[in-house]
Amino acid sequence: MPTILADSFTHSLAKLANDEQKQAKLTVYDLQTEPDRPGLQFHRIDKSKDPNFWSVRVTRDLRIIVHKTGASLLLAYVGHHDDAYAWAERRRIEQHPKTGVVQIVEVRERVEEIAPIAPIQTDFGFAAEPVVAPLRSRKAAKAAPLFAKLTRDDLLSISVPEDWIEDVLRADDDRFLALSDHLPAEAAEALLEYVSTGTLKAPVPLAPATDPFAHPDAQRRFRIIENQEEMEAALAFPWDKWSVFLHPAQRDMVERDFTGPARVMGSAGTGKTVVALHRAMRLLHADPSAKILLTTFSEPLANALSRGLKVLASSDSHALDRIAVASFRSIAEELHMLAFGQKAHLASREIIRSLIKKSIETERADAFSEQFVLSEWLNVVDAWQVPDVETYASIPRMGRRTRLGPKQREAIWPIFERMRGELAKRRLMTPASLFAAVATHYAAKGAKPFDHILVDEAQDLGVPGLRFLASVAPDTPNALFFAGDLGQRIFQLPFSWKGLGIDVRGGASVLKVNYRTSHQIRMAADRLLPDNVRDVDGLEDDRAATISVFNGPPPQVLMADDENDEIDAVAAFLRMALEDGIQASEIGVFVRSRDELPRARAVVDRLGLGAIELTGRTDGEAGRISVGTMHFAKGLEFKAVAVMACDESVIPSATRLADVSDEMELDEVYATERHLLYVAATRARDRLLLTGVAPGSEFLADLTDE
């Protein structure tokens, strides 16, 4: 008899204490290996509408809810006696009559009246403005009911259970979000997409006699477990549902074969990193001799990827020996050592700035400001590794609005030539020249160091980094795979990937389902960005069509009179989160730069808790709140987040604005500063507070305006 694991079981298991989890797992292993064992105590749930629900005793007060038929044993839920029985009495497991998908359905007659979601009531001591997160796109007009144009057959075609159809047809803006929490995920997602886009996308029904658990929507919440080793791996990290269950759109990108470079896009929380991790494991198992590189822009994120791979390969850890996980720069440094037998010594930003200043003075080129020369060096000459003045005279300088004629380029070139000489004298490289040296070495070689390269946070790849990765990848199917979000680009100027020979247009896909951030927080954060984000090659991420799979209270924005009032207010917000059961390790406090960190630390001090500063690690510690700059927020997730010090002179950064050399660069600074605030805000899963000292950042007005 096959054992089937439901995501509702792993979710409930994660809520138990550690010793209770261990006891529940032991009972699960007994159920899997010997379900008819006499010592296992089965009791039918008499009050359940589903006659196949049974409870299995774990301890005196702990019960596992199973769905037992002649064909299978399904692990549905685990909890304390009364909680477990109540869960089973309110649900049934059935195959949808129209689409054929297997669903866990709440029994409508046992659900109390559905009320709209209310904001969290927190006494800040002064006025705080709730962010209104409308259900519809900013451009759409509100209407009630939402689904008046749909028929019963339409709703059945997207797997709405029959006893919930009337509720859906009557739903308006205020009640639908609360209603969606009671519907099966695929039905709620289809309805949310309809509200956002006006299009109802119905899946293809299962053919007769097809295994209902083979339906793509069933596979996102049920997994057939073949043996105890597989069960142990699935239960090892029950809170990481992504390690066991995949959305159909994610599974498609994991399993699809591409003849050329491919890219998966999507807004924060849509599971791009999940796809990269699963795809790496899939390629590893498909070819036991393959050498794979999984890379991202920083070492903290590379460490997070390593932990994710260990979750996926918990029953086959030796397989990870064939996957290299490192940041872009670290893997380039390793390959440089292999290629040239010596370590690459990189010049810091401070050294580059001082050499620029010295070169301007030596060449007596006072006509060019230090800011302009530094920007031209970083974004054009060094980034593109321009070799000589002849090449510089013809390069288009994409992303630079200040025009330079031939004579001006001739006049400025000696500064860059001297820069290169000064770096060579000191035996220093820049990251760009490091990437270029390794790329030149491997471009001429037939044998490449990796068979497959998967890149996370690909939006922050620059020109030299992309050239480098392309040079160390073979010209074979599935060689290059990129995952990223155009709306989270905070480091690199945009440029044409196609112009560098990396054309992903035939292998691009956009994920639309957000798992990490509540609908209310996502809608508010999305106001910081355009509805559509387009890259230089024309690939578009339509953010208006993104949906979240769960709801929560609206985020709040407040402007304090001074820093002390702000610290008190944030402390009150976090104190309520702690009182509501959120752990300290599930809380993050972020600021724009290190200059504002004392304000964040002061909040933690007011609470009498310890803080862990996020400077090179990406996981929380029990009993400690995570504190860090917005840059270190990338890739993280917290149940509650406070984004502090959003002052007028802090974001956008006054320092970055002072270094701007032309209008195009000014636009770029504003765009990436918006992206940075978006990154920080979307780290929040359930609760979000954004604060500053009045009048506050101009960006905050976008969050609160309709």
CATH code of the domain in which 690 resides: 3.40.50.300
Q: Is the pLDDT of residue 460 over 90?
A: no
pLDDT in tens, 108-125: 988 877 766 766 666 665
Among the listed ranges 519-528, 654-663, 668-677, which one has the minimum average pLDDT value?
A: 654-663
Enclosing H/E stretch for 330: helix 328-340
pLDDT in tens, 532-579: 777 777 777 777 778 888 888 889 999 999 999 999 999 999 999 999
Contacts of 465 (CB under 8 A, 6+ apart): 328, 431, 435
Whether 560 and 593 share a structural domain = yes
- Asked if the bond preceding 203 is cis, omega within 30° of 0, the reply is no
DSSP 342-358: SPPPBPPHHHHHHHHHH
Residue 182: which domain range? 145-197
- Length, in residues, of the chain: 706
Whether 337 and 408 share a structural domain = no
Rounded CA separation 679/521 (Å): 12
DSSP E strands in 434-497: the ranges are: 452-455, 480-484
Q: Is the pLDDT of residue 498 over 50?
A: yes
Two tokens, residue 199: 């299009």
Determine the residue type at 522.
Answer: R
Q: Determine the pLDDT at residue 144.
A: 66
Handedness of CA 94, 95, 101, 106 (dihedral sign): negative
Whether 94 and 176 share a structural domain = no
* Residue that is written with structure tokens 């995920």 in the block: 185
Alpha-carbon separation of residue 481 from 272, 276, 474, 507 (angstroms): 11, 8, 12, 9
**618 pLDDT tier (thresholds 50, 70, 90):** very low
**5 pLDDT tier (thresholds 50, 70, 90):** very high
Rounded CA separation 525/700 (Å): 10
pLDDT in tens, 204-213: 777 777 788 8
Whether 369 and 283 share a structural domain = no
pLDDT in tens, 83-105: 999 999 999 999 999 999 999 99
Whether 378 and 492 share a structural domain = no
Whether 256 and 288 share a structural domain = yes
The residue out of 516, 537, 563 marking a domain boundary is: 516
Report if residue 133 sits inside a domain: no
Q: Determine the pLDDT at residue 140.
A: 45
pLDDT: which is higher, 645 or 363? 645
Rounded CA separation 166/154 (Å): 13
Whether 8 and 106 share a structural domain = yes
Paired with 201 in beta bridges are: none
Q: Is the pLDDT of residue 647 over 60?
A: yes
Contacts of 492 (CB under 8 A, 6+ apart): 459, 460, 461, 462
Report if residue 131 sits inside a domain: no
Enclosing H/E stretch for 29: helix 18-33
Report if residue 61 sits inside a domain: yes
Among the listed ranges 151-160, 214-223, 395-404, 625-634, which one has the minimum average pLDDT value?
A: 395-404
Domain count across the chain: 5
DSSP 592-638: SSGGGHHHHHHHHHHHT-EEEE-SS-----TTEEEEEEGGGGTT--E
pLDDT in tens, 134-180: 555 444 445 568 898 999 999 999 999 999 999 999 998 778 888 88
- How many other β-carbons are positioned within 10 Å of the β-carbon of residue 396? 9
Q: Determine the pLDDT at residue 139.
A: 42
Q: Determine the pLDDT at residue 9.
A: 96
Rounded CA separation 519/270 (Å): 12
Two tokens, residue 472: 């160390």
Whether 576 and 661 share a structural domain = yes
**201 pLDDT tier (thresholds 50, 70, 90):** confident
- Asked if the bond preceding 145 is cis, omega within 30° of 0, the reply is yes
Q: Determine the pLDDT at residue 376.
A: 87
Quote the pTM value: 0.85
Query: What average pLDDT does the segment 380-409 reach?
Result: 80
The residue out of 497, 516, 535 marking a domain boundary is: 516
Whether 214 and 279 share a structural domain = no
- Percentage of the chain exceeding pLDDT 90: 52
Query: What average pLDDT does the segment 248-271 reach?
Result: 92
Report if residue 544 sits inside a domain: no
Alpha-carbon separation of residue 86 from 75, 89, 112, 121, 421 (angstroms): 16, 5, 14, 29, 75
* Residue that is written with structure tokens 């009640």 in the block: 175
**193 pLDDT tier (thresholds 50, 70, 90):** confident
Report if residue 240 sits inside a domain: no
Report if residue 221 sits inside a domain: yes
Among the listed ranges 507-521, 582-596, 677-691, which one has the minimum average pLDDT value?
A: 507-521
Two tokens, residue 660: 């701007």
Pairing between strand 42-44 and 53-57? antiparallel
Report if residue 581 sits inside a domain: yes
Query: What average pLDDT does the segment 458-470 reach?
Result: 92
- Percentage of the chain exceeding pLDDT 70: 91
Report if residue 178 sits inside a domain: yes
Whether 58 and 98 share a structural domain = yes
Handedness of CA 395, 400, 406, 410 (dihedral sign): negative
**491 pLDDT tier (thresholds 50, 70, 90):** low
Whether 77 and 169 share a structural domain = no
DSSP 270-295: S-HHHHHHHHHHHHHHH-TT--EEEE
Distance of CA 154 to the CA centre of its chain: 32
Two tokens, residue 51: 């006659």
Among the listed ranges 128-142, 278-292, 442-456, which one has the minimum average pLDDT value?
A: 128-142
Whether 575 and 676 share a structural domain = yes
